[in-house]
């Protein structure tokens, strides 16, 4: 069980989630002196407002927390994620019936996350929650997965390079009896991964393709591919300082497929899981790949480098080709790929792309149920012409600069031809400002919705 969760036998302080409709009835059941204290302190049952209720002996007897009414459009089911930052250390439980017990418990647990690896002393408030009935047997593994993704993304690049990302993958594999192999450095050329090698060769930290497998070889094949660019300078098309500042998070796709893999393996889904992570650092040196260079990909397509800062799609292309060769039932890729996706949908709503309408509908349904927002964007075929090159089969960036996220998806689609279904997620993997259940920093996106869909299909 994840440390933020407590057993039901633990003595816990009750948290009452209230709105304007439920407050009058609840008020009548509480100690009048405690209610008088809360109201004297200014408590009103409005979303996000809270009050600590004292006992006659002066101890903490309970907590009031205002939430959105169930029928309010646009309500935030993660609002209880604010609680860990408001409460003193201790163990808590939700009191009374909950409309969405799983989301309330998940929000609380995710709101308790803190990245304290590099801070001296212990400034972390110990907050625990007794899971409510209906929170689900998999709650602990979902929390573990989100913490894993956040920890990986938050770790600075000097301690999260390609080697360290491989070590994190091996640590996860060891927990679940999975196997891992890696192809490192110039061996990438020998094994026909020229694009991964081209992007990563300029760094003193050797590039690699990390390959995890788990499950029955005869089960349906589900393959997850995650962009593992452990730091992105932009290459010779150097990023400005403001754009480079957060590039430790450019391996967020890898972090999130590892989070998804943890949930899949913890649930024992009946799949043959494969996770592929092209792990590189896009650095600047004398042997860095250059604008207008041309490289042959693993698929055989030649790629002209229109911009060295569009490196993520290059490393994904070789990994997707490998994944596609064994014709998986479902092929998924995740990456922190385009600023265009953030301009269109902001940091909290990742776009996804697929030609499978049934898959898209199922993902949208599970995204809503899991409060893991996603939005389908079109694989608009006419824009494919933007990738034309005068000297190669394809350019890695569009001419004109429009529709950047769509064009990136169309580029990746060129390297998938055999998989029964394919879906691409253009995630941000970062929360710029703290929100309920989402502290500022690395974020787990799309993984919960994806795993809910897989659990429905393959449990």
- Catalytic residue from among 27, 75, 239, 457: 239
Is position 313 annotated as part of the catalytic site?
A: yes
CA nearest 225: which of 446, 452, 3, 459?
A: 446
Place of tokens 């049934």: 358
Phi, psi of 274 (to 5 degrees): -130, 135
CA nearest 446: which of 354, 317, 313?
A: 354
Is position 75 annotated as part of the catalytic site?
A: no
Contact between 223 and 276 under an 8 Å Cβ cutoff? The reply is yes
3 state SS of 442: strand
As a whole number of angstroms, the distance between CA 144 and CA 390 comes to 48
Q: DSSP secondary-structure letter at 5?
A: B
As a whole number of angstroms, the longest Cα–Cα distance in the chain is 81
As a whole number of angstroms, the distance between CA 340 and CA 196 comes to 23
As a whole number of angstroms, the distance between CA 271 and CA 261 comes to 11
- Catalytic residue from among 313, 342, 435, 448: 313
Nearby residues of 43 by Cβ (< 8 Å), 6 or more positions away: 49, 50, 51, 64
As a whole number of angstroms, the distance between CA 231 and CA 25 comes to 55
What residues are annotated to the active site?
239, 313
């Amino acid at each position: 069980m994840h440390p933020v969760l407590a057993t039901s036998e633990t003595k816990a302080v009750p948290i009452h989630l209230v709105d304007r409709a439920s407050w009058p009835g609840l008020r009548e059941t509480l100690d009048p002196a405690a209610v008088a204290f809360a109201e004297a302190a200014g408590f009103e049952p409005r979303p996000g407002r809270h009050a600590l209720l004292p006992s006659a002996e002066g101890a903490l007897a309970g907590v009031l927390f205002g939430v959105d009414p169930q029928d309010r459009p646009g309500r935030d089911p993660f609002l209880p994620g604010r609680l860990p930052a408001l409460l003193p250390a201790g163990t808590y439980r939700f009191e009374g019936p909950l409309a969405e017990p799983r989301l309330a418990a998940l929000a609380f647990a995710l709101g308790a996350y803190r990245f304290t690896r590099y801070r001296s002393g212990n400034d972390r408030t110990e907050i625990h929650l007794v899971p409510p009935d209906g929170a689900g047997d998999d709650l602990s593994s979902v929390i573990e997965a989100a913490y894993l993704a956040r920890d990986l993304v938050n770790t600075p690049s000097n301690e999260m390079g390609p080697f360290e990302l491989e070590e994190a993958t091996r640590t996860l594999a060891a927990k679940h009896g999975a196997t891992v192999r890696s192809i490192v450095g110039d061996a990438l050329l020998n094994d026909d991964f020229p694009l991964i090698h081209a992007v990563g060769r300029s760094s003193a930290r050797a590039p690699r393709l990390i390959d995890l497998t788990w499950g029955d070889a005869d089960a349906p094949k589900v393959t997850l591919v995650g962009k593992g660019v452990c730091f992105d300078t932009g290459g010779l098309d150097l990023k400005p300082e403001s754009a480079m500042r957060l590039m430790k998070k450019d391996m967020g796709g890898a972090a999130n497929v590892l989070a998804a893999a943890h949930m899949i393996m913890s649930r024992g889904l009946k799949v043959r899981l494969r996770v592929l992570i092209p792990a590189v650092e896009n650095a600047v040196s004398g042997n860095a790949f250059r604008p207008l260079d041309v490289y042959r990909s693993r698929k055989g397509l030649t790629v002209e480098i229109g911009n060295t800062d569009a490196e993520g799609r290059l490393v994904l292309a070789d990994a997707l080709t490998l994944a596609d060769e064994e014709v998986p039932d479902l092929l998924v890729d995740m990456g922190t790929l385009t600023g265009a996706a953030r301009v269109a949908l902001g940091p909290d709503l990742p776009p996804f792309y697929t030609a499978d309408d049934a898959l898209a509908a199922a993902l949208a349904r599970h995204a809503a149920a899991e409060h893991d927002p996603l939005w389908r964007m079109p694989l608009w075929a006419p824009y494919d012409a933007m990738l034309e090159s005068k000297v190669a089969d394809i350019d890695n960036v569009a001419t004109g600069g429009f529709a950047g996220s769509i064009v990136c998806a169309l580029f990746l689609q060129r390297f998938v031809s055999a998989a029964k279904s394919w879906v691409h997620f253009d995630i941000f993997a970062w929360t710029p400002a703290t929100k309920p259940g989402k502290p500022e920093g690395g974020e787990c996106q799309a993984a919960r919705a994806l795993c809910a869909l897989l659990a429905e299909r393959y449990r």
